[in-house]
Amino acid sequence: MNWEMFMAPYNQAVDELKVKLKGIRAQYEYGSMHSPIEFVTGRVKPIKSILAKARKRNVPYHALEEEIQDIAGLRVVCPFVDDIYTVVGMIRQREDFNILEEKDYITKKKESGYRSYHVIIEYPVETIQGVKKLLAEIQIRTLAMNFWATNEHSLNYKYSGQIPMEVKARLKKAAEAAFQLDEEMSKIRNEIQEAQAIFRNRNDSEATK
Ligand code: 0O2
């Protein structure tokens, strides 16, 4: 297996999709509008993790491209829960890729407490051999959901997937607290956005002095 060749289109897809998704945020900023996107990150799954996932699921090498959907992974982090659905709406309308599947782990959280909205897309990458369509996963979540998932992910790594029961229970509590935080923030969303607009205008006028 030539891993460098295998990974090349995934690296390209992540780079391109990062630019495209960051472009959405930039357009809101130019228009001085509230952006439903706080930040965008992207990564190509490390080969070690691809192989570990494949082994766990009995996926042979020749089926990696179809079976491991998140070799190319993008993450869109939003200020508020409603923003997630705004971003999903925009993703659905795009003409530069197709959606294959949507997984709503917000209304239906995972057993761990994990919340996020996942969209699996088929993305065409232009290569010197022609167009190569590959799968990519876009995870859309709030800042609070991201804080929880990042910490839980670190703990999973620390305990090699075997998080002790009492830590698991605390994580579930923390997931609910994070969701409550999202709900409370949504209730004062208008106030927060007005405050941010005042702050932005003040900075803009000071910059042009
Ligand atoms: P990594 O290290 O982030 O790459 P499925 O068969 O559809 O249930 P699949 O294909 O793993 O399972 O898809 P799923 O469940 O949508 O999860 C894909 C990714 O979502 C994971 O990738 C994580 O990034 C994230 N995720 C899912 N569940 C959890 C969770 O309980 N906690 C955290 N922190 N993240 C989660 P990987 O490959 O597991 O990991």
Domain ranges of the chain: 3-207
CA of 204 to the centre of ligand 1 (A): 41
Catalytic-residue membership of 137? yes
Find tokens 């409603």 and name the residue: 82
The residue whose CA is least distant from atom 7 of ligand 1 is: 103
Catalytic residue from among 137, 176, 184, 191: 137
CA of 182 to the centre of ligand 1 (A): 21
Which of 55-74 are b and which e, b meaning 16 or more Cβ less than 10 Å from the residue's Cβ? eeeebeeeebbeebbbbbbb
Cβ contacts of 23-28, under 8 Å, gap ≥ 24: 24/87, 24/90
The topology (CATH level 3) of 3-207 is: Beta Polymerase; domain 2 (3.30.460)
- Band of pLDDT at residue 200, cut at 50, 70 and 90: confident
Give per-residue pLDDT as tens, 75-134.
Answer: 999 999 999 999 999 999 999 999 999 999 999 999 999 999 999 999 999 999 999 999
What's the confidence (pLDDT) of residue 202? 78
Question: From the alpha carbon of 111, which atom of ligand 1 is closest?
Answer: 31
Kindly state the average pLDDT of the residues 28-48.
93
